[in-house]
């Protein structure tokens, strides 16, 4: 049978029934439900002439050897967040499976280049707070010493949970061996945002993943009695922080794809009868352009100092985390663009950056030419049981992604 996108949606539903409940998908990495999903998937590979193994970081590889050892990698992740959606990560893996079936049949088991499907271990970081775990081990950017002592909310240590699944964190560096002969990487993913639905566009070329600047910001003022302190005698740290929370919208608004979020604000002493003496907030800033990101960071910092002065407070910043923007490969972007145009008949394919991080960012950091394709999400909702995409769009995505695989094979041959 040639490519059958309906089989992909049927298999996604099968997986949902097997590993989900009334609250959504429950395939959290390093749990029994996740292992069950992987076992189910191994069963799906049974009829194919693929070599199947788990690498030193628990990434799941199925390899269809080709005439050339040069390999096209097609990736996704079967793990989900708790109460997650049915498509995030799983669509990628099952679309890749359907493409391997098609390629195997078309080339009678021997395609021109080697095709490797990878189901990355623990993309979500849902249990231990460490995202992109398996793909970072593959890329050689894992942070084992810092991660091994992480605990889940029941106090179980990360290295112990992984050992239960047959993975020794000390051996993570061996996962970089899987890079051998990797010549290109492609990944299909749901958009997880509202942009494509608003534009009424089913598919998009992903330009890369945005860089992130994440900071803790603390404003210091003076705690004071809410009844006895005149308005003009206050040093209200919440007032300074509140001005910044509004200002970051203008800072982001100067750039078309930039986003800035103050996701958390805590006030101390945090009681109804006191002026806020200390206010702790977090800021998350993202853009695909490193220059834009640096400018937004500088502007937010300057604004915070200005607002602190206005309110007779002080402010301090400390970096929580950062990652540089990852731009995908120009040639692979063009192939993805062509594939989308050919399948949708549109004159132009939409191109957009990804706000969320994906395993593709780690693969790209390893120097492997990479591109991702997005398919529209309904209502822009993800990491939730109501996450959804129209079935006709899922099928279109499988067809376009298959077209991209063919173009990548031709490019590598
Ligand atoms: Zn995902």
The pLDDT tens digits for 381-412 are 988 999 999 999 999 999 999 999 999 999 99
Distance 376 CA to ligand 1 centre (A): 14
pTM of the model: 0.90
Angstrom distance (rounded) from CA 336 to CA 186: 9
Q: Kindly tell me if the per-residue pLDDT of 110 is higher than 80.
A: yes
Distance 404 CA to ligand 1 centre (A): 19
Distance 308 CA to ligand 1 centre (A): 39
Distance 380 CA to ligand 1 centre (A): 14
DSSP structural state of residue 328 = P
Give CA torsion, residues 318, 319, 320, 324, to 10 deg: 170
Containing 253, the helix (H) or strand (E) segment is helix 237-253
Q: Kindly tell me if the per-residue pLDDT of 274 is higher than 90.
A: yes
The answer to whether the CB of 66 falls within 8 A of the CB of 51 is no
Mean pLDDT across 136-153? 93
Containing 340, the helix (H) or strand (E) segment is helix 330-344
Q: How many residues does the chain have?
A: 413
Please give the backbone phi and psi of residue 351, each rounded to the nearest 5 degrees, phi first: -120, 135
Distance 192 CA to ligand 1 centre (A): 9
323: confidence class by pLDDT, cuts 50, 70, 90: confident
Joined tokens for residue 117: 């499907």
The residues near 56 (Cβ < 8 Å, ≥ 6 apart) are 137, 167, 168, 171, 172, 173, 174, 175, 177
C-alpha triplet 41, 119, 171: angle, nearest 5°: 115
Distance 362 CA to ligand 1 centre (A): 13
Distance 306 CA to ligand 1 centre (A): 39
Mean pLDDT across 16-27? 96
Joined tokens for residue 352: 């957009």
The answer to whether the CB of 352 falls within 8 A of the CB of 173 is no
322: confidence class by pLDDT, cuts 50, 70, 90: confident
Which has the closest alpha carbon to 59: 43, 72, 75?
75
If DSSP codes are grouped into helix, strand and coil, which group holds residue 69? strand
Q: Kindly tell me if the per-residue pLDDT of 220 is higher than 80.
A: yes
Please state whether beta strands 211-220 and 278-287 pair in parallel, antiparallel, or not at all (unpaired): antiparallel
Share of the chain above pLDDT 90, in %: 96
Distance 12 CA to ligand 1 centre (A): 14
Q: Kindly tell me if the per-residue pLDDT of 1 is higher than 80.
A: no
Share of the chain above pLDDT 70, in %: 100
| pLDDT tens by residue, 341-351 | 999 999 999 99
Angstrom distance (rounded) from CA 396 to CA 97: 16
Distance 26 CA to ligand 1 centre (A): 14
Distance 118 CA to ligand 1 centre (A): 13
Distance 358 CA to ligand 1 centre (A): 6
Distance 279 CA to ligand 1 centre (A): 34
The answer to whether the CB of 36 falls within 8 A of the CB of 69 is no
If DSSP codes are grouped into helix, strand and coil, which group holds residue 265? strand
If DSSP codes are grouped into helix, strand and coil, which group holds residue 321? strand
């Amino acid at each position: 049978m040639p490519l059958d996108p309906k089989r992909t949606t049927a298999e996604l539903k099968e997986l949902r029934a097997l590993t989900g409940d009334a609250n959504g998908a429950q395939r959290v990495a390093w749990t029994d439900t996740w292992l069950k999903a992987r076992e189910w998937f191994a069963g799906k590979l049974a009829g194919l002439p693929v070599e199947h193994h788990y690498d030193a970081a628990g990434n799941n590889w199925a390899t269809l050897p080709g005439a050339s050892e040069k390999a096209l990698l097609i990736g996704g992740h079967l793990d989900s967040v708790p109460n997650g959606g049915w498509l995030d990560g799983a669509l990628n893996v099952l679309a890749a499976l359907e493409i391997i079936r098609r390629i195997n049949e078309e080339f009678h088991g021997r395609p021109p280049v080697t095709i490797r499907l990878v189901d990355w271990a623990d993309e979500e970081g849902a249990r231990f707070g460490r995202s992109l775990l398996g793909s970072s081990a593959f890329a050689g950017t894992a942070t084992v010493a810092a991660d091994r002592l992480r605990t889940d909310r029941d106090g179980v240590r990360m290295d112990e949970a992984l050992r239960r699944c047959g993975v020794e964190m000390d051996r993570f560096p061996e996962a970089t061996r899987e890079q051998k002969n990797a010549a290109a990487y492609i990944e299909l993913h749901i958009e997880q945002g509202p942009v494509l639905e608003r534009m009424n566009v089913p598919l998009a070329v992903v330009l890369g993943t945005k860089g992130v600047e994440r900071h803790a910001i603390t404003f210091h003022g003076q705690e004071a009695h809410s009844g006895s302190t005149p308005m003009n005698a206050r040093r209200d740290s919440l007032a300074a922080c509140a001005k910044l929370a509004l200002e970051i919208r203008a800072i982001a608004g100067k750039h078309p794809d930039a986003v800035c979020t103050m996701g958390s604000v805590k006030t101390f002493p945090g009681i109804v009868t006191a002026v806020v003496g200390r206010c702790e907030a977090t800021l998350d800033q993202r853009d695909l352009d490193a220059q834009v990101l640096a400018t937004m960071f500088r502007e937010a910092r300057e604004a915070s100092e200005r607002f602190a002065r206005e309110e007779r407070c002080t402010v301090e910043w400390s970096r929580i985390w950062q990652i540089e923007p990852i731009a995908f490969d120009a040639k692979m972007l063009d192939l993805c663009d062509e594939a989308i145009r050919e399948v949708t008949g549109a004159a132009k394919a939409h191109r957009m950056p990804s706000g969320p991080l994906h395993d593709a960012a780690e693969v790209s950091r390893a120097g492997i030419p990479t591109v991702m394709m997005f398919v529209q999400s309904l209502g822009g909702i993800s990491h939730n049981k109501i996450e959804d995409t129209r079935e006709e769009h899922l099928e279109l995505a499988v067809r376009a992604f298959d077209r991209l695989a063919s173009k990548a094979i031709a490019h590598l041959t």
